[in-house]
Amino acid sequence: MSPTRVLVLNSGSSSVKYQLLDMSDGSRLAVGLVERIGEETSRLKHTPQGGEAREWSGAVPDHEAALKAVAAELAKDGRGLDSPDLAAIGHRVVHGGKHFTEPTVIDDAVLAEIERLIPVAPLHNPANLTGIRTAQALRPDLPQVAVFDTAFHTTMPESAARYAIDVETADAHRIRRYGFHGTSHAYVSRATAKLLGKAPEDVNVIVLHLGNGASASAVRGGRCVDTSMGLTPLEGLVMGTRSGDMDPAVIFHLMRVGGMSADEIDTLLNNRSGLIGLCGDNDMREIRRRIDEGDERARLAFDIYIHRLKKYIGAYCAVLGRVDAVAFTAGVGENSAPVREAAVAGLEGLGLAVDGELNAVRGDEARLISPAGARVAVAVVPTDEEMEIATQTYALVGKDGMGSEGD
């Protein structure tokens, strides 16, 4: 029997999220998280399939220690990193630039390219690299695959991917719109086609990934043609703590008139803007609770969030020409009926509407919330980035005939 298990690692600057999946039946054998790596007290939570969650706190000084702790937890379930059932490790890598259009088996050249991209992803790529190097050290014989957040967006035409700035300057600094959340947009656009009973090639979908970070994409026949995030995940929609679109002159103004440094403005726009900057809360549940109590600041924050979202829906209707479905996903998109209702309110002229009763239904399955017979399907489609990374990793490893020892 060929090994069928894939360990998915999502290494952030101070955390490692992981899942062990069995690709023979799509089951999740373990799900876990190590948080606050490098701090005085780190925390690990590990939940094996069908079992109780195990949690502990202690010192986890670096990513190597974190991965060893993960390996130890998996070993307790009899599924350690040394298991012959493990086919590959799939790594989420945030920035793959223009170069990486597909999941890629990691070798020294791939590592060097991910490293070369650090200037455009200074927060994410270093952490991803550390995760990869640590996993390689623990299992040097095992194929390791990089699945890039940007890859799904590399099909964007130049007209959507380029900023209208001096071409030489842009190219010298690799400034263009790369887009992010690509794994989610890929998964959700395909799952939406499936919900409609059609092939991805036959449908045009607007995907609204609304989590703490948020992005929209226009997907024509399975290929991304536009997305709202740009050079970095700061562009586009109003997010939990990020501003999204803004006149770039605000930055010069804050420097010249406000006396702020580039780093201070970076922190302002990434961490103290969006919903939290507007009303002090970035959790949509809390914002809705405050609105119900008559809080005006929360109301305005919600209205600004919805106004931007609507503009992107309208823009992507225009980009696609024909829209078959609008899919809501991620924490807010999957759970907030008021956001979904407000986002399409008044867009009947574009064929968009939600049915109040269907919209109020809660659940984990992909489902339609538009009225029967609607011109454009509106859907809630839960995202599953880990499953997508595992699927892409396994497909690649299988295709290359790797990981098939023991046949």
Q: Does 184 bind ligand ADP (CB under 6 A)?
A: no
Beta strands in 228-339 (DSSP E): 325-329
**Part in contact with ligand ADP (CB under 6 A); list of ranges 83-91, 330-338, 353-361, 369-377:** 330-338
Count other C-beta atoms under 10 Å from residue 260's C-beta.
16
Residue at 260: amino acid letter: M
Question: Of residues 163, 254, 335, 398, which one binds ligand ADP by CB under 6 A?
Answer: 335
How far is the C-alpha of 290 from the C-alpha of 59, rounded, in Å? 38
- Cβ 94 to ligand ADP, closest distance in Å? 13
Binding residue per annotation — 92? yes
The answer on whether 54 is annotated among ligand-binding residues is: no
Q: Is 332 annotated as a binding residue?
A: yes
270 lies in the site for ligand ADP, by CB under 6 A: no
Ligand-binding site membership of 204 (annotated)? no
3-class SS at 238? coil
Count Cα atoms within 13 angstroms, Cβ side, for 240. Answer: 15
149 is catalytic: yes
Q: Which amino acid is at 141?
A: D
Q: Is 236 in the site for ligand ADP (CB under 6 A)?
A: no
Q: Is 369 in the site for ligand ADP (CB under 6 A)?
A: no
Residue 64 beta carbon to ligand ADP: minimum distance, rounded to whole angstroms:
25
Tokens in use for 42?
A: 């780190």
Candidate ranges 151-159, 198-206, 245-253, 327-335; the one touching ligand ADP (CB under 6 A): 327-335
- Positions 59 through 118 that interact with ligand ADP (CB under 6 A): none
Token pair in block for residue 334: 């999957």
- The token pair at 186 is 């890929």
Pick from 245, 283, 341, 355 the residue near ligand ADP by CB under 6 A: 283
* Residue of 336, 359, 370, 391 interacting with ligand ADP (CB under 6 A): 336
Q: Report CA-CA distances (Å) from 347 to 77, 164, 351, 352, 367.
A: 51, 30, 7, 5, 20
Among 301, 332, 354, 369, binds ligand ADP (CB under 6 A): 332
**Of residues 331, 351, 382, 403, which one binds ligand ADP by CB under 6 A?**
331
Give 127-159 as a DSSP string: HHHHHHHHHHHH-TTS-EEEEETTGGGGGS-HH
Nearest to ligand ADP of 15, 212 (CB atom): 212
Q: At what angle do helices 63-76 and 125-138 cross, to 10 degrees?
A: 50
Smallest distance from ligand ADP to CB 340, Å: 10
Tell me which amino acid residue 370 is.
S
By the rule CB under 6 A, 285 interacts with ligand ADP: yes
The C-alpha angle 202, 205, 207, rounded to 5 degrees, equals: 150
**Number of residues in contact with ligand ADP under rule CB under 6 A:** 13
To the question of whether residue 270 is assigned a binding role by annotation, the answer is no
Between residues 253 and 285, which has the closer beta carbon with respect to ligand ADP? 285
Residue with tokens 């008139």: 257
Judge whether 79 is annotated as a binding position. Answer: no
CB of 213 to ligand ADP, least distance (A): 4
Q: 274 in the Ramachandran plot: left (φ > 0), alpha (ψ -120 to 50) or beta?
A: left
**Residue 330 in the binding site for ligand ADP (CB under 6 A):** yes
Token representation of residue 256? 């010249």
Name the active-site residue from 82, 85, 149, 364: 149
Min dist. Cβ of residue 335 to ligand ADP (A):
3
- Contacts of residue 64, defined as CB under 8 A and 6 or more positions apart, other chains included, come to 134, 137
Does 212 participate in binding ligand ADP (rule CB under 6 A)?
Answer: yes
283 is known to lie in a ligand binding site: yes
Q: Which amino acid, 242?
A: R
Residue whose CB is less far from ligand ADP, 225 or 337: 337
- Min dist CB 166 to ligand ADP, Å, is 33
Helix (H, G, I), strand (E, B) or coil at 37: coil
Does residue 282 belong to the site contacting ligand ADP (CB under 6 A)? yes
Question: Distance from first CA to last CA of the chain, Å, rounded?
Answer: 5
382 lies in the binding site for ligand ADP (CB under 6 A): no
Give the C-alpha separation, 48 to 17, whole Å: 14
Which residue, 132 or 275, is less far from ligand ADP as judged by CB?
275
Token pair belonging to 135: 């996993």
Write out the binding residues for substrate.
Answer: 92
Q: Could you list the active site residues? A: 149
Contacting residues toward ligand ADP, per CB under 6 A: 211-213, 240, 282-285, 330-332, 335-336
